[in-house]
Structures are given as structure tokens and as C-alpha cells.
Amino acid sequence: MHVKESAGTVSMTQVQNAGSPHLEVRNLKTYFYTEDGVVRAVDGLSYGLAKGETLGLVGESGCGKSVSALSVMRLIASPGKIVEGEILLDGLDLLQCSEPEMREVRGNRISMIFQEPMTSLNPVFTIGNQIMEAIRVHQDVSRKEARDRTIAMIRRVKISAAETRVDEYPHQMSGGMRQRVMIAMALACNPEVLIADEPTTALDVTIQAQIMELLAELQSDFQMSILLITHNLGLVAEVSDQVAVMYASKVVEHTSTAELFASPLHPYTHGLLTSVPTLGMPREQKLNVIPGQVPNPLHFPTGCRFHPRCPVAEQRCKQEEPLLREVKPGHWAACHFIENGKSPMKGADR
Amino acid sequence: MILGLFGLFLGIAGWHAGTLWESLAHTVQKLSGASVLYTLRDLDFLVSTLFVLGMLVAMGLYSGISCRQIQKTRSLAQLPEGQWSIVKRQFLKNRLAVVGALIILALYLVAFLCPFLAPYDPVEQGDRVQERLLLPSAEHLLGTDRFARDVFSRIVYGSRISLLVGFLAMGLAVTLGTAVGAVAGYYGGWVDSVIMRFVDMMLSFPSLILIITVIALWRNQSIWIIITLIGLMSWMGVARLVRGQFMALKEREFFQAAKALGAGTGRLIFRHLLPNSLTPIIVSATLRVGNTILLEASLSYLGLGVQPPTPSWGNIVYDTKGNLFTEWWMPLAAGMAIVVTVVGYNLLGDGLRDALDPRLRE
């Protein structure tokens, strides 16, 4: 595949070593036209997700993770708008689809689960009714059959007593249960891609582990790809095959999970990883802090968006925006100073 | 409660057994002969007869079903409490709300059973000389008016007009308001702006004066026109309410989730937005029934509403206003009927609001 230098992006097809990506996002730009100005929530985002793999999309709050997920589903509401880019699902450009075509894709080929299981279910219908709806939106099946499949699906997400639980209302269930129901709804039509937008943030740690385990199990059963959006680095380390790190509406680093945690190359990724406490670190050692604040998406810094906070920034960084380039085989990063696959940060190799 | 009602209906049925039978036989005879014309009074009796018989049958069926249901729930394990039984329990806890509900229930019974409860025909005029402006007595509970009509019977029949107007005008207003509000709230943007400015404009008209003008221009005072006009003048509040609800619900995650599942516009509105807005719609509808009844009474009092001799509480007050100081109990009784109905609806609405709102539960 070719490299689109002019657009400042790299075709992420190359990122994947194993097969061509199932879902590919190229140079996606989603802007919100607010009264204060244009908020560039996603600004030239590119990533690829291979079939059956899990891609972790990590970044701080407000860096555009969720907006990028909603853009893939084409659920950006006014004043937001997808300005530019391509979203290829098995070669089909979703941005060229009409709204009815898009409805066929949503829930059927790409599904999404959300952060808040407490509010993601309609409070006035039973959970069985809602899972049945998910099936009947896309498939022409009888009520009886839909109900049987619903009960099977509830069993699949490991909720006990599926036959009675199917007639319960969301308010009768715990947060973890509701997230399971959400997963059942999302997977009811056997989607190829599942977008999980912080699926465990609202749950406590033990439930978190159970849900992730369930997702991993269902992933291999259903042969689906998962785009996992999170700010939890531990979670990413555990479950994803590839990681894309986002900063200020762009991907700054993209590589396999093992590689990223072993040798982060971008100064931002490095700062992020060293700011997480690890077990067994000396008690008197202070945690690393990334100085400054996340830039306001209304006014991004010129040049490299990380330069005001970067310890190794130079004059060049203020003027020239670094491209996301392959700095090592299978390792992409956007920084001027990565040479021969070495991080500009001292002691970056861990 | 069910048994009590059952008894009441049995009592009415027994008491009027002769009349019931006569009315049915009358109808059958007329249906076969068809040479004699129906009078309104015949029709009234027929409707009430059918109502009583229907209620008796329905109650028989209901008690059978509920007996089976009780047996079923006993055999099943303890099921978690459903939404509606929680609402029912909360509602029954609120004494005032129960009183309101009973008032409304009683009024509907009265309206359906008019011919059996009213001792006289409400429009029939007695002897203009001997039976005019009689004092209350055992024969005429509230005396007679200046046309020698029994005031008690007129008030009993008047309940029909008030309940009819209240129910139908509110139904029209709620349907219209919900439709308009739903469109504005769902689409938002310029559609919303245009619709809501129109609503603001409608709200700024003094509705009573507008209705009076239209009736005056129309030169026709049929009850249906009055209902339509009242409905057309009172949908704006519902529209605003529904629009606000839709706007708020659109931001909720389950709406996003439904969209992410590929649900279309119809499904989004009728499955996700509307059912979740139903609570405030029901409450506001109940609370507004009182207003429409008052509006009809005001129109009738001004002589622009229901036309005599058809009795309505408003025009009973109007008819008797000349005798205000001598026969004060007549307007007082009609006025009390209006007040009790409106208060009943308001209590019911308040109770429903509290029972349906999960945030107000302890």
C-alpha cells in the first residue's frame, strides 16, 4: 500500500502483520462547530484493526477516543460533523453509505457497548424485550424464535436462570449484569466488529475482570474484532494485541502491545507509562508527572501538539508537525527525534 | 372493593330490573318494527342498560381471571415485584390520591347510570304554574328551576357533558401536543425553532376570548365544536412538555445504544422516547382535564357553550342566576359539582405524579 505523505498520514494497512485490516480508519477528521469555534475532536486519525484481533485505543479524557468510536458508527450528532477521511469495513467505505445502509451496518456488522451500564438500557422494557428488539431490527424472525435466541444469548453471557431473568427489568439487575445484557444485545446479530467504549470503567475491579474475560471468550467464539477504548493501561496490557496511543485528537504511537510496554518510543507514551505506579518500585521514588495540561481542542499548539509538555522539545517541534511514520518494523510513532528505533527519552527502554 | 362494586351493580340491576327489561324489550321491538322514533330518553336507558349488563359480565370474568391469577402466583416462586404493582402500592399509600380516584370513578358511574339515578327527565318541563321554583323536598331534591325542571336530575345529567368535554378535549390536546412536541424534540434544529415559536404564539392568545370569537363567527354551538376548540387551545403545554422530555432522553445513553443497534426513526420514537415520556404526559393530562372542564363551564355560563335545554353544570349556573338570592342552592349545587370534579382530577393527577416518579419514593 502507498503512503499518503501529502495528507500527513500513513496507510495503516502496513501496521498489521497478520492479514489485511478488517476495519480501517484513514485520516478521519471529526469537527464540532460550536459557538466558540471549531473543536477538532478527531483530527487526522488513522488505525487498522485486523480480523479477530483486539486494538486498544488509549488516551487521556477528552483526547477524542469516544468521538472516534461514534464516528465509526456514524452517530455524530449536530454540531459535530465528519469532515474528511475514510472508514473502511472490509473495503466498504462507511462514510459513503446512505443512512438506511448505515442502519444495516449498525448492530449487524459493527456493534457498540457503552461505558454506563446503568443507563444504557431502556428502563421501561424488560431486558428480554430489548435483546429481542436487537435481533428483530436486523433479522426477520418470529417472536418465538427471537425469544429462544434471546434466552440462549443471555445464557451465553453467563447470566444464571436465563428463563426467568429474561423477563426482568433493568432496575432489577446489578451493574455487571446490565453490562452483560448490553453485551448480549450488541452480539445478538453476530457482528464482525465490536466497539467497546470504556466497557468496564463504571464497574468495580472484580466485575471488570469477569466482563473482560467474557469478552475475550466471546471474541474467539464469534470470530470478531474488538476496538477497546479505554484510559486504563493495565486493561490494554492484558487484553489487546495492538495499541494505538492518542494524544490531542491524533494517534501518536501505534504498535503491538508487547512492544509498546517494552519500549515506548514517543515521549508522551513514555510519560504515560512512567506515571503509573508499579508493584515493587522503591517507596521514596516519585511518580513521573507529565507537566502542563491537555491542550484545548479549540486551539491546539502549532507544530507537534505535545511540544509544550515535552521534555525533549526543540524549536523545530513548534513549527513542524511530525508525521506518523514507521520508526521500527511494526512500530509507528509521530516524533521528530526517534532515530534508529531509539526513544529520545533517557532510560526509555525498560 | 370489586365485591362492593359488584353489589352496587347488582343492586341497581335489581332495583331497576323492570326498567332494564322494558328498555331492552323496547329496543328489540323498535328494531323489528322500526316505525316508532327513538327518543333521546330511550337511548339513554338503552346505553345505561347495556353498561350495567356489560359491567356485570366484565366483573364476573374479572373475578374468575383474578382467582386463577392468585392460584398461579401461589404456585410460582416469589417473583420480583413488577413496575406496576410498585406504582399501585405507592398510589394507594397516598390517601388524597385515592379520594381523588374514587371521586372520578363515582362521577363516571353517575354519568353512565344517569337515567337510573335521576328521578326525572332533565329537559322535561313540569307544570309551569304549580311546579315552578319549588323548594327542595323529597320529590325534588334540589327543587325546580324557573322552567319547572328538576334541578337534581339536571345536575346528574350535567355530569355527562363535563366528563365528555374533559375527556375528549384532553384526548385531543394530548394527541396533538404529543405529536407536535415529538416532532420538535426529535428533529431539533430549525424544525424545533419554527414549531416552538408557533407554540409560543398560540400560548400568547387569551384562549377563552379566542374560543368565544370563533363560536360567534361560526354561529353554531354544537358540543363537538366546543370540544374541538377547547382541545385546539390547550395542546401547547403538552407539546412543550413532550419536546423537553425528548430532548433530555436523546442525551441518555440508552438512546445512543439503540441507535448503535441500528434502530430507525420510528423505533426510536415509539419504543424509546415515547414510552419513557409517558409518565409526565399522563400526569399533565390528568391535571389538565380539570382546566378543560372549567373552560367548558365558563363558556356555558356565558351562554356560548352547551345550549339549553341540554343540561351542563355551566348553563345550570347560568339558568339559575336570576334567582341567586332566593334559590341559592341551585347554582351552589352545580358549582360544587364543578369544584368537586376539578379537585378530584387534580388530586388524582398529583397522586399519579408521586406514584409514577421513582425519585419521590422513599
Domain ranges of chain B: 1-79, 151-360
Nearest residue to B148 (alpha-carbon basis) of B118, B165, B164, B127: B127
Query: Can you give the pLDDT at residue A181?
Result: 92
- Extract long-range pairs of B108-111: CB within 8 Å, 24+ residues apart: B108/B163, B110/B156, B110/B159, B111/B159, B111/B160, B111/B163, B111/B164
β-bridge mates for residue A245, sequence order: A58, A253
How big is the CA angle at A160 (ends A154 and A163), to the nearest 5 degrees? 60
Inter-chain CB pairs, A–B, below 8 Å: 76
State residue A63 phi and psi, 5-degree precision. -90, 0
* CB of A69 closer than 8 Å to CB of A195: yes
State the Cα–Cα distance between residues A156 and A173, nearest whole angstrom. Answer: 17
A244-265 pLDDT tens trace: 999 888 899 999 999 988 888 8
How sure is the predictor about B23, in pLDDT bands with cuts at 50, 70 and 90? low
State the Cα–Cα distance between residues A175 and A198, nearest whole angstrom. Answer: 14
| Average pLDDT for A125-134 | 90
First to last CA, chain A: 33
Q: Any chain A CB within 8 A of the CB of B266?
A: no
Residue B140 reports pLDDT greater than 60: yes
Contact B256 A121 (CB under 8 A): no
Nearest residue to A248 (alpha-carbon basis) of A289, A292, A195, A287: A292
Among A105, A116, A122, A164, most B C-beta atoms within 10 A, so best to mutate, is A122
* CB of A242 closer than 8 Å to CB of A56: yes
Evaluate the CA torsion angle B153, B155, B161, B167 in order and state its sign: negative
| Average pLDDT for A283-309 | 84
Query: Can you give the pLDDT at residue A124?
Result: 83
Q: What are the chain B neighbours of A137 within 8 Å (beta carbons)?
A: 261-264, 267
Q: List CB contacts of A213: < 8 A, sequence separation 6 or more.
A: none
Q: Decide: helix, strand or coil at residue A273.
A: helix
CA distance A73 to chain B (A): 7
pTM, two decimals, is 0.79
The interface residues of chain B toward chain A in range 143-202, judged by CB-CB distance below 8 A, are: 188-189
Contact A107 B254 (CB under 8 A): no
Q: Any chain A CB within 8 A of the CB of B253?
A: yes
Contact B189 A78 (CB under 8 A): yes
**Residue for grid cell 359539582:** B337
Q: What are the chain B neighbours of A75 within 8 Å (beta carbons)?
A: 256, 259-260
Instruction: Give exposure, B268-306, as e/b (b: 16+ Cβ within 10 Å).
Output: bbebbbbebbebbbebbbbbbbbbbbbbbbbbbbeebbb
Q: HSE of A5 in the Cβ direction (CA atoms, 13 Å)?
A: 0
Contact A107 B260 (CB under 8 A): yes
Contact B256 A75 (CB under 8 A): yes
CB neighbours (10 Å) of residue A193? 21
State the Cα–Cα distance between residues A73 and A99, nearest whole angstrom. Answer: 11
**Chain A residues with CB-CB distance to B under 8 A?**
73, 75, 78, 103-108, 111-116, 119-125, 133-134, 137-138, 164, 168-169, 172, 182, 185-186
Question: Which residue in the set A103, A115, A169 is minimally distant from B262, CB to CB?
Answer: A103
B151-189 pLDDT tens trace: 888 888 888 888 888 889 999 999 999 999 999 999 988
β-bridge mates for residue A197, sequence order: A229
How sure is the predictor about B25, in pLDDT bands with cuts at 50, 70 and 90? low
Q: Any chain A CB within 8 A of the CB of B258?
A: yes
- Extract long-range pairs of B68-72: CB within 8 Å, 24+ residues apart: none
| Average pLDDT for B230-234 | 90
Residue A85 reports pLDDT greater than 70: yes
Contact B257 A172 (CB under 8 A): no
* CB of A250 closer than 8 Å to CB of A268: no
CA distance B187 to chain A (A): 11
CATH 3.40.50.1360 fits B151-360, yes or no: no
Q: What are the chain A neighbours of B189 within 8 Å (beta carbons)?
A: 78
A162-215 pLDDT tens trace: 888 888 888 888 888 888 899 999 988 889 999 998 888 878 888 888 888 889
Give me the torsion for CA of B46, B51, B52, B53, rounded to 10°: 90
Q: Determine if the peptide bond prior to B309 is cis (ω within 30°).
A: yes
β-bridge mates for residue A342, sequence order: A339
